[in-house]
A and B are shown apart, each in its own frame.
Chain A
Amino acid sequence: KNEVEQSPQNLTAQEGEFITINCSYSVGISALHWLQQHPGGGIVSLFMLSSGKKKHGRLIATINIQEKHSSLHITASHPRDSAVYICAALNSGYSTLTFGKGTMLLVSP
């Protein structure tokens, strides 16, 4: 069992829909990253969270440290949001990341 679990594994949506991707972790962390990987392969860090909530444009990320759970929300989804979204726990002490298996999102026009 992976120490970082994401759901769903695959997600299809129509343009404009509200999207939620969930992440649960069982390791001790100092923070949690949400990453985006487009089909071209590059990985971009969207958010780093250690508590509460962050918002950037149409993306919102929340974390509940007590419940060891984080969510990534996309409002008014667009086909350009189609990508793999990866939750990654920043391990306490070593700064390395433990990754979830990713959620492949496809937004159709």
Chain B
Amino acid sequence: DTAVSQTPKYLVTQMGNDKSIKCEQNLGHDTMYWYKQDSKKFLKIMFSYNNKELIINETVPNRFSPKSPDKAHLNLHINSLELGDSAVYFCASSPRDSSSYTFGSGTRLTVV
């Protein structure tokens, strides 16, 4: 299946831990993104990568570090997790001309 796949779907962890969320797309898209959906369901851009290169880094704490080993993968590593990091994180991808946008199914992160 052609898609954007994220793992894990659910992640429950304690404050202070370090965790990673993985994202892979097999659509051949050049650009990948991480978006955060907060408790009020509002979505906001975190990072944008184009062909493994960081393009956008919105006002995200530096505890969040994206890593793109190749243009099909964009992983999100989070250090020293805080309660406020609890949210749903969506990976997405688009081709260079942004003619389409495909979202992963989301990772629900709960920090306790």
Contact = CB atoms under 8 A, between A and B. Distances in A.
B50 to A, nearest CB: 8
B2 to A, nearest CB: 14
A33 B88 CA distance: 20
B42 to A, nearest CB: 6
Contacts of B106: 41-43
B105 interface: yes
B41 A102 contact: yes
Contacts, number: 54
Main SS of chain B's interface residues?
Answer: strand
A105 B44 CA distance: 21
Nearest to A40: B105
A78 interface: no
Interface stretch (B14-22, B67-75, B77-85, B94-102): B94-102
B43 A95 contact: no
B110 to A, nearest CB: 14
Chain B interface category by residue count: 20 to 34
What secondary structure prevails in chain A residues at the interface with B? strand
A43 B36 CA distance: 13
Interface in A38-94: 41-45, 48, 84, 86, 88, 90, 94
Interface string B13-56: 00000000000000000010101000011111100101000011
Contacts of B31: 95
Given A86-B43, A94-B55, A33 B101 contact: yes
A97 B101 contact: yes
Contacts of B48: 94-96
B102 A45 contact: yes
B103 interface: yes
A41 B108 contact: yes
Q: Which 7 A-B pairs have the closest CB atoms?
A: A43-B103, A99-B43, A95-B98, A96-B45, A45-B101, A42-B105, A41-B106
